[in-house]
Structure 1
């Protein structure tokens, strides 16, 4: 069985992903913004819990420190995200980057993207000037996922579009299937003989074409340089 971390697992897709993995017998560590968001009745299902607000850089570091106490993860699913918030870049891009840079390299990295990433900008000045949109942040985290696909021996990396599903973020009128929204993440975290083995952009267990900038090595390099400069943390 695998040891798997799921961020943003107190509700929605993150909770459903963690639940499905626990049902399969895996050791699941769940992250939530604060202790009050964790369901005490479900605590016995988890290998452990981690708390911290991924909108705050110092708390992101604390989340990484807590995660390190569990040892090397077989898979980390970077699920946490926000839609309409001034913290859209910090939660959707900087937090996944920092956790990846600060934690031991896992066997598998899985980052939640969105079909909206295709409307994102490659203008990396937006990373720091307060003008970035949700689409921008999702393009950047998708690019990060694909950049990491061949960076570290023994670590695979993928991005996932879960679809527009009826969670609190997606809203009750979202047209996509809620169950299908978490199945790809759980599958990528635990299954073998996946094609492509690394560097995929997935929707409902099928590879899709991402924004053309995401697999572009020049843009990947510029993004990583910008993230390292902004956070002061090297990716390694």
Structure 2
């Protein structure tokens, strides 16, 4: 089944991707900052699925540490067949009032690392004539929700552009754009999500399975669930000014209901 490298593998969607891929017989390269969590996951996957696992502890905000992961992707003797660029986090504070260092950190993890690792993987995969890259984007990439939307918009468009470039090479690129997923993501960002209707929540397994189906189909963009597919379709056709107005109203509502 080959080898998959998953960033942000220690929790949330990354852990779910690693578990599902192991259940399908993929060997895993697990990447995250928290070594103890990676070791726990590694042991679990080896025990449950008899796969080979490798741990790479790396902070993808650090260029040198990101390069170590890129070097693993370039290793011709130990090819990686699927790269899952999943590492990321939420940004709750406004850009104008927030800390610029936080914004730069977000760009490093969710833009630069995706760029660097995709470059490493696509070059090696193209030379072999096969492989896949899965970039975890967001429904926010179709909306206007602060710099997080800008970051995820880059991920989605970058994935589409690279998919076009690699067409016919045997290498596919997919951006998965989930809505709200039940993970640690919002708690870590200190976001109060108590008012969100249950029908807007997605489970990690649902996102992972739809994303991997899209990879198998060679789709450039995947939006999990019928609800979010409808929302994404609407956001693509409504006037951009209307999208900004609705986003402004939602932002004002979040500010008045925030704890």
Q: TM-score, normalised by structure 2?
A: 0.67
SS of equivalent residue, structure 2 residue 56:
strand
- Contact kept? 2:60, 2:109, Cα under 8 Å: yes
Q: CA deviation at 1:65?
A: 1.5
Comparing 180-189 with 55-64, greater Cα deviation is found at 180-189
| Cα shift at 1:32 | 1.1
Map of 1:95 onto structure 2: 113
Measured in 2, the distance between the counterparts of 1:202 and 1:3 equals: 25
Structure 1 contact 4–74 (Cα < 8 Å) conserved: yes
Q: Distance in 1 between matches of 2:83 and 2:34?
A: 19
What does residue 63 of structure 1 align with? 69
Determine if the alignment matches structure 1 residue 167 to structure 2 residue 215. Answer: no
Match of 1:199 in 2: 220
Distance 1:140 1:56 in 2: 20
Structure 1: how far apart are the matches of 2:179 and 2:144?
A: 17
Determine which of 212, 219, 223 is the counterpart of 1:186.
212
Query: Does the residue aligned with 2:181 lie in a helix, a strand or coil?
Result: coil
- 1:52 aligns to what? 58
Tell me, what secondary structure is at the counterpart of 2:175? strand
TM-superposed deviation, 1:170: 3.2
1:1-236 → structure 2 map (5 Å cutoff) = 1-40=1-40, 41-42=43-44, 44=46, 45-69=51-75, 71-84=78-91, 85-86=102-103, 87-103=105-121, 104-105=124-125, 107-120=131-144, 133-152=147-166, 153-171=169-187, 173=194, 175=198, 176-178=201-203, 179-189=205-215, 191=216, 194=217, 197-204=218-225, 209=233
Structure 1 runs not aligned, ≥5 long: 122-131, 213-236
State the number of aligned residues: 197
CA deviation string 1:14-60 (max 9, x = no partner): 10111011112222221112423313332635432222111111211
1:201–1:209 Cα contact (<8 Å) kept:
no
CA distance in 2, matches of 1:95, 1:170: 21
**Structure 2: which 5+ residue stretches go unaligned?**
92-101, 188-192, 237-259
Give the conservation status (yes or no) of the 8 Å contact 2:163–2:173: yes
Task: Please say which of residues 142-151 and 132-141 is displaced more in the overlay.
Answer: 132-141
RMSD of aligned C-alpha atoms? 2.7
Counterpart of 1:6 in 2: which secondary structure? Answer: strand
CA contact (8 A) 2:211 2:222 kept: no
Deviation of residue 13 (structure 1)? 0.6
